[in-house]
């Protein structure tokens, strides 16, 4: 039987990494809007703008033609940043065959609507089964072939199982879940907390501080996630605790780096120019606070990130402010 063809939209670090893994299992096409990136992917099997000279799977093919990419797809994987999702999906809509399943790799929320990206997919492409693949997955480490794991969440468990086989490898272990909300919210929120952890690291606050911020962030993330409809246990899994550990500690994390640099006195503009890649937590920080207000969840750590990113609060005030608050019961109540 012919294997389903996979198309990945988004030629950045993560879209490229996932496409390279999928190519081991089936014919895979990567859509990138940049023609030079496409040429390099097809001729040299690298994507040097995002992944240096790391070798990609030699059978991976790329195109800059969105119609070609979408009309041949049996499975569509969405790997562009959150701010681009609605526009890219709208352009893709006319070319996609009915019922093609869509898997989002996106760890962000739509600004303005506060929507999860799978909800944006369902709005733009009604009738298509949709899920999300999230976990502690630093793109370059996956391409380098270090072992890693993620969770593929879809409402239909059988469909998740068949996509699991297409998107995993011996070294990239994809688990399944039906908790789309939990997995997706965890993936978006952890970026904001990685910025908070970066504040501590940038101020050279030490290992205990980092562990405190990560652990209390997990509480905060879980409380909002549950209020939004996610299952509590999801947040102690790969997309919750797992991704918090990776993103809050990795020198490769772009969100953590934003926090470190802000603490060192750099401006967001300077940091964006240095990074040249997306750090979703910057845009998500205000959306997370809107969601926290909407669901009546007190989120002190996220609040401080929002204050620094969007309201010019110095990073040092953030720490002093948080430490002024008395701790309460570890697992009950709203205090951070």
Ligand X SMILES: NC(=O)C1=CN([C@@H]2O[C@H](COP(=O)(O)OP(=O)(O)OC[C@H]3O[C@@H](n4cnc5c(N)ncnc54)[C@H](OP(=O)(O)O)[C@@H]3O)[C@@H](O)[C@H]2O)C=CC1
Ligand Y SMILES: O=C(CO)COP(=O)(O)O
Which residues are documented as binding site for substrate?
Answer: 107, 254-255
- Separation CA 161–CA 143 (nearest Å): 23
Least distance (Å) between residue 172 CB and ligand X: 12
Least distance (Å) between residue 322 CB and ligand X: 25
Query: Helix, strand, coil % (nearest 5) of the chain?
Result: 55, 10, 35
Residue nearest to ligand X (CB): 12
User: Residue 161, CB half-sphere, CA atoms under 13 Å: how many?
Assistant: 3
Among 106, 125, 301, 315, binds ligand X (CB under 6 A): 106
User: Which of ligand Y, ligand X, none interacts with 11 (beta carbon under 5 to 8 A by kind)?
Assistant: ligand X
Which residue's CB is nearer to ligand X, number 172 or number 319?
A: 172
Cβ distance 72 to 5 under 8 Å?
Answer: yes
Interface region with ligand X, contact rule CB under 6 A, candidates 8-16, 22-30, 233-241, 300-308? 8-16
Q: Counting contacts by CB under 6 A, is residue 32 touching ligand X?
A: yes
For residue 190, indicate whether it is catalytic: yes
Q: How many residues bind ligand Y, per CB under 6 A? A: 13
**Using CB atoms within 10 A of its CB, is residue 323 exposed (0-12), middle (13-18) or buried (19+)?**
exposed
Among 277, 300, 310, 321, binds ligand X (CB under 6 A): 277
262-321 residues near ligand Y, rule: CB under 6 A: 279
The tokens describing 12, both together, are 């950045």
Q: Counting contacts by CB under 6 A, is residue 297 touching ligand X?
A: no
Kind and range of the H or E element at 10?
none
118-177 residues near ligand X, rule: CB under 6 A: 137-139
The tokens describing 282, both together, are 């910057």
The 8-class DSSP code of residue 109 comes to B
Cβ distance 315 to 322 under 8 Å?
Answer: no
Cβ distance 133 to 167 under 8 Å?
Answer: yes
Among 28, 177, 253, 286, binds ligand Y (CB under 6 A): 253
Among the listed residues 5, 170, 190, 283, the single catalytic one is 190
Q: Counting contacts by CB under 6 A, is residue 79 touching ligand X?
A: yes
**Using CB atoms within 10 A of its CB, is residue 21 exposed (0-12), middle (13-18) or buried (19+)?**
buried
Q: Counting contacts by CB under 6 A, is residue 246 touching ligand Y?
A: yes
Interface region with ligand Y, contact rule CB under 6 A, candidates 41-49, 166-174, 239-247, 301-309? 239-247
End-to-end CA distance of the chain: 53
Unique residue bearing structure tokens 């990206």: 117
Which residue's CB is nearer to ligand Y, number 84 or number 96?
A: 84
Residues that bind ligand X (CB under 6 A): 10-15, 32-34, 50, 79-82, 84, 87-88, 105-108, 137-139, 277-278, 280
- The residues annotated with a catalytic role in the active site are 190
């Amino acid at each position: 039987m012919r294997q389903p063809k996979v198309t990945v939209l988004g030629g950045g670090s993560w879209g490229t990494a996932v496409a390279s893994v999928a190519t081991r299992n089936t014919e895979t096409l990567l859509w990138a809007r940049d023609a030079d990136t496409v040429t390099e992917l097809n001729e040299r099997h690298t994507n040097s703008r995002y992944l240096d000279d790391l070798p990609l799977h030699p059978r991976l093919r790329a195109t800059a033609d969105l119609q070609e990419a979408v009309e041949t797809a049996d499975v569509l994987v969405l790997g562009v940043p959150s701010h681009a999702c609605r526009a890219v999906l709208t352009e893709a809509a006319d070319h996609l065959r009915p019922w093609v399943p869509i898997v989002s790799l996106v760890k962000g929320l739509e600004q303005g609507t506060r929507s999860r990206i799978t909800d944006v997919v369902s709005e733009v492409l009604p009738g298509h089964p949709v899920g999300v693949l999230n976990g502690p997955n630093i793109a370059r480490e996956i391409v380098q072939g270090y072992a890693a794991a993620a969770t593929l969440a879809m409402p239909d468990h059988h469909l998740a199982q068949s996509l699991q086989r297409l998107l995993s490898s011996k070294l990239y272990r994809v688990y399944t879940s039906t908790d789309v909300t939990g997995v997706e919210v965890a993936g978006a929120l952890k970026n904001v907390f990685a910025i908070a952890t970066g504040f501590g690291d940038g101020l050279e606050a030490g290992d205990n501080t980092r562990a405190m911020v990560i652990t209390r962030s997990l509480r905060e993330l879980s409380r909002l996630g549950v209020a939004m409809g996610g299952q509590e246990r999801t947040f102690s899994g790969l997309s919750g605790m797992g991704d918090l550990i990776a993103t809050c500690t990795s020198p490769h994390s772009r969100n953590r780096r934003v926090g470190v640099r802000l603490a060192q006195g750099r401006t967001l503009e300077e940091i964006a120019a240095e990074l040249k890649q997306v750090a979703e937590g910057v845009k998500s920080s205000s959306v997370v606070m809107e969601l926290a207000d909407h669901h009546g969840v007190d989120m002190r750590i996220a609040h401080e990130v929002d204050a620094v990113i969007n309201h010019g609060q110095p990073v040092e005030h953030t720490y002093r402010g948080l430490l002024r608050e008395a701790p309460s019961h570890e697992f009950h109540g709203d205090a951070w």
